Chains A and B, each alone.
Chain A
Amino acid sequence: MSGSRKKNASMDMADPGAGHYVNPEPFNPASMETLTPAQERYYQASQWQIMWWKFRRHKIALWSGVILVLFYLNVPFAEIIAPYTANQRSNDHLFAPPQKVHFFHEGEFVGPFVYGMTSEIDIETVKWVFTEDRTQVYPIRFFCRGSDYDFWGLIPWDFHVICPAEGGTLYLLGTDRLGRDVYSGLIYGARLSLTVGIIGVTISIVLGMFFGGIAGYFGGLLDSVVQRMIEILRSLPELPLWMALSAALPVTWSPVWIYLGITVILGLLDWPGLARAVRSKLLALREEEYARAAVLMGAKPGRVIRKHLLPGFTSHIIASATLSIPAMILGETALSFLNLGLRRPAVSWGVMLNEAQDISVIVVYPWLMAPVVPIIIVVLAFNFMGDGMRDAADPYK
């Protein structure tokens, strides 16, 4: 670039009429600066592509995303992945401890298997005591036919990825008070626990976009009304309100309706944060030249917001929505844990934790606390991924 400038300077006096030299050749911008293929790829990439490249560099966020995908894969295929159905009881195995998976039986390799269990009742504590029976070997079966279920509640089927041996049991994480498999419960519970956040956030995005949008775009009185509303809602402690609202759901409703009701409740109180983000972004973007140009060319407010302003901050909204999903998952868990949310036969991680409410139960049967682990993993993963997305949301910075 500096070389061509020097050349221009030396030929300055070639055309005295113009006062300076004018090259008659058509100007080709590519001649000034040759782009490496990598640069070219970067300059021609779309906004979303650059965001993806930037997100990819954030290793923890990327791995969190992978973990979340694995968790969400459980949602559609819960029946196939779980060895039992969530509410299948076994009266012979109440509060059975987790069965250890072994590979070697008496020094010989058998593949993954569990030993059988013998149970007897302890008269003093009135508790079932389970001991491993080292003579019974139950190899775990894979891709097999096991207990019957209705796939998505519609198609009767019996195919499982993993099932217990014929006549044997497979309680990887033990059983609860009614002999229901905890591991299968976790997989079925993922269905409600993980989707509650997604649906709730969708509701909250719609509300947040609407209120934030009108406040940020129109300003004035409307803005201050919405601002006051946001302030008041944000100053209220969420959980007691959630509790009160879900206590108001009629007891006669079916689990599906209760589930929908809870997602609506979670979404109803969550939008102020998003609305605030939308509003501040809109206020900033409204002043940009391209927005003013659109207004001057006679675009209606709705069109300006949707066509010109929204694409500028969609990525930010998605990032902040991702960060508010864990709060909803925890909200549902807390409500179900307190017996105010979902109830059996619906299974979510919070419903399962409900049984672990009593300290004396936890001390004796600690495996009932198992749902704590997936909850923490999912919440952490959402936080890390959201952080990564927020950093990537403004790719040109």
Chain B
Amino acid sequence: MLYYIARRIFAMIPTLLVISFLTFFIIELPAGDYISNQIAALRATGESASIAKLEFLRQEFALDKPFLERYLIWVGLWPGPHGFDGLIQGNWGWSFEFDRPVSEVVGPTLPLTIILNTATILFVYIVAFPIGIYSATRQYSWADYGFTFLGYIGLATPNFLLGLIMLYLANRWFGLSVGGLMDPRYIGEPWSADKVLSVLAHLIVPTIVIGTSGTAAMIRRLRANLLDELHKQYVTTARAKGMRETHLLVKYPLRMALNPFIADIGNLIPSLVSGSVIVSVVLNLPTVGPILLNALQSQDQYLSGFILLFVAMLTLLGMLVSDLLLAVLDPRIRLGGRVSP
């Protein structure tokens, strides 16, 4: 098992390198950089006093170096103006727009981003699991049709539109302010039980909004897998021998169907993280989403680069967890064999 974990983590390193390179490439795509754009703007207005300072900043952040060198400096594999000082050394870069280190800008939002995504994954599991089993064991019942229909709607409604609709309905029916992390009353107040409750209440809506389409997909998946198993011979045999229905279900078919259920969460995580970014923008949640949008629009490259990398890391970690869970559940995987999905 330890060997498996080590091998799995080791395999992430090249992936991370490729992803960091891709990220850097993408954020460097727009013409120029934040500072040279500012210099151009200052030149246009005829102001030259602060240009010297900006030129100095350009050198300070190695923006005058060639692309590959900049990338290596950013990651921390090449000595920059201050020696080895990049992501690996724990320096996340500098946000030009906020004029502060990236870690200070995004730092406070990282825990909430992680909490929101974890909560969503748990939500997907907790809701999809019983409904999937129910739909499979009572195939073609009214409830099954109902869940299938709801599932289709959930799949078709993009989560940011669902967020908008929820905002509207909550405001219309309950007069609730759904957006934001907590009720406006508590902003700036010291932490209290009420404040925590308010935060939790405000987390429920985004969790549902982000998780709906994933839940719908998972229900369909689990239902199909379980139905496949339930029609196999051994189930009939066990039933003929008089095994109780619940015992029969839990003993084998469920365990078999569980495998792809967990493997699938790995495929789902990227779309969940995607969803959390845009839903945070719509619902005005203090996660990395709104900061990313802002940074992209103002071409604050190191800030947006770090967030892109962080979000990609999050999905990689999620996949790692789902792989490890799978290995715990299925000895065939941790012993090195391959199981077909």
Interface residues of A (CB under 8 A from B): 231-232, 234-241, 243-245, 247-248, 250, 326, 330, 333-334, 337-340, 353, 356-357, 359, 362-363, 366, 369, 372, 375-376, 379-380, 383-384
Say whether B172 faces chain A, with CB atoms less than 8 Å apart: yes
Set of chain B residues within 8 Å of A232, measured between Cβ atoms: 15, 18-19, 22
* Contact residues of B between 287 and 341, Cβ < 8 Å to A: 292-293, 296-297, 299, 304, 307-308, 311-312, 315-316, 319
Q: Does B66 contact A (CB under 8 A)?
A: no
Which chain A residues border B316 with CB–CB below 8 Å? 235
Is A248's CB under 8 angstroms from B29's CB?
Answer: yes
28 A-B residue pairs with CB within 8 Å = A232-B18, A232-B19, A232-B22, A234-B270, A235-B15, A235-B315, A235-B316, A236-B19, A236-B22, A236-B270, A237-B270, A237-B271, A237-B311, A240-B292, A240-B308, A240-B311, A248-B29, A250-B30, A359-B171, A359-B179, A362-B164, A362-B167, A362-B168, A369-B168, A372-B164, A376-B157, A383-B155, A383-B156
Query: With A337-B160, A379-B156 in contact, do A359 and B315 touch (Cβ < 8 Å)?
Result: no
The minimal Cβ–Cβ distance linking A244 to chain B, given in whole angstroms, is 5
**Which residue of A238, A247, A366 contacts B168 across the interface (Cβ within 8 Å)?**
A366
CA–CA, A369 and B270, complex, Å: 27
Q: How far is the CB of A196 from chain B (nearest CB, A)?
A: 14
A238 touching B171 in the complex, CB below 8 Å, given contacts A326-B156, A369-B164: no
Question: Contact between A334 and B270 (Cβ–Cβ < 8 Å)?
Answer: no
Contact of B278 with A by CB under 8 A: yes
Closest Cβ neighbor of B299 among chain A residues: A247
- Chain A residue numbers with a CB within 8 Å of B273 are 237, 240
Q: Which of B23, B271, B282 sits near A238, CB closer than 8 Å?
A: B271
Which A-B residue pairs are the 6 nearest by beta carbons? A239-B274, A248-B29, A247-B296, A380-B156, A237-B273, A237-B274
* Residue pair A240, B168 in contact (C-beta under 8 Å): no
Chain B residues within an 8 Å CB radius of A334: 158, 160, 278
Query: Would you call B156 and A376 a contact (CB within 8 A)?
Result: yes
B238 at the binding interface (Cβ < 8 Å): no
Partner pick for A356 among B22, B164, B293, CB 8 A cutoff: B164
Contacts of A237 in B (CB 8 A): 270-271, 273-274, 277, 311-312, 315
In the assembled complex, B153 has its CB within 8 A of some CB on chain A: yes
B275: which A residues are within 8 A, CB to CB? Answer: 239
Given contacts A359-B168, A372-B161, contact A340 B31 (CB under 8 A): no
CB distance from B235 to the nearest CB of A (A): 23
**Chain A residue nearest to B276 in the complex (CB):** A237
Give chain A nearest CB distance to B64 CB in angstroms: 21
On chain B, the residues within 8 Å of A340 by CB distance are: 293, 296-297
Interface size grouping (class) on chain B? 35 or more
Known: A232-B18, A243-B296. A380 touches B29 (CB 8 A): no
The interface residues of chain B lying within 8 Å CB-to-CB of A366 are 168
Q: Across the interface, name the chain B residue whose C-beta is closest to A60.
A: B152
A6 to B316, CA, bound (A): 69
Is B274 touching A238 in the complex (CB atoms < 8 A)?
yes
Q: Which residues of A contact B161 (CB under 8 A)?
A: 333, 353, 372, 375-376
Chain A residue at smallest Cβ distance from B281: A338
- Among B23, B26, B167, B168, the residue within 8 A (CB) of A248 is B26
Nearest CB in chain B: distance from A264 CB, A: 13
Tell whether A248 pairs with B312 under 8 Å between CB atoms, given A234-B267, A237-B273, A337-B160.
Answer: no
Q: Dominant SS at the B interface?
A: helix
Which of B26, B158, B179, B292 is within 8 Å of A375, CB to CB? B158
CB-nearest residue of chain B relative to A238? B274
Contacts of A379 in B (CB 8 A): 156-158
Contact call B29/A236, Cβ cutoff below 8 A: no
Given contacts A247-B299, A340-B293, 19 further A-B contacts (CB under 8 A): A232-B22, A235-B315, A235-B319, A236-B312, A236-B315, A237-B271, A237-B274, A239-B278, A240-B274, A243-B277, A243-B292, A244-B23, A244-B308, A334-B158, A338-B293, A359-B171, A363-B172, A376-B153, A380-B156
CB distance from A78 to the nearest CB of B (A): 23
Q: Is the CB of A241 within 8 A of B168?
A: no
Q: Does B165 contact A (CB under 8 A)?
A: yes
Q: Which residues of B contact A248 (CB under 8 A)?
A: 26, 29-30
In the complex formed, the residue of B with least CB distance to A239 is: B274
B224: CB under 8 A from chain A?
no
B249 lies within 8 A of chain A by Cβ: no
Most buried by B among A250, A330, A366: A330
What A residues does B299 contact at CB under 8 A? Answer: 247
Q: Is residue B27 contacting chain A, with contact meaning CB distance below 8 A?
A: yes
- Bound Cα distance A244, B27 (Å): 7
Nearest B residue to A363 by beta-carbon distance?
A: B171
Shortest beta-carbon distance from A234 to chain B in Å? 7
Known contacts A232-B19, A235-B316, A238-B270; is-contact A339 B297 (Cβ 8 Å):
yes
**Inter-subunit contact A363/B315 (CB<8 Å):** no
Interface-centre pick from B15, B156, B160, B316 (highest chain A CB count, 10 A): B156
- Smallest beta-carbon distance A388→chain B, Å: 13
Within the complex, what minimum Cβ distance (angstroms) separates B116 from chain A? 14
How far does the Cβ of A223 sit from chain B's closest Cβ, in whole Å? 15
Residues of A within 8 Å of B168, CB to CB, are 359, 362-363, 366, 369
Q: How far is the CA of A273 from the CA of B325 in the complex (A)?
A: 24
Residues of A near B281 (CB, < 8 A) are 338
Interface string of B50-67 (1 = CB under 8 A from A): 000000000000000000
Which residue of chain B is the closest to A330 with respect to CB atoms? B158
Bound Cα distance from A363 to B299, whole angstroms: 33
Which residues of the other chain, A, contact B307 by a CB distance below 8 angstroms?
240
Q: Contact at B26–A244, with CB atoms within 8 Å?
A: yes
Whether B165 and A369, one on each chain, are in contact in the complex, defined by CB atoms closer than 8 angstroms, is yes
B31: A residues at CB distance < 8 A: 250
Give Cα A337 to B164, complex, Å. Answer: 11
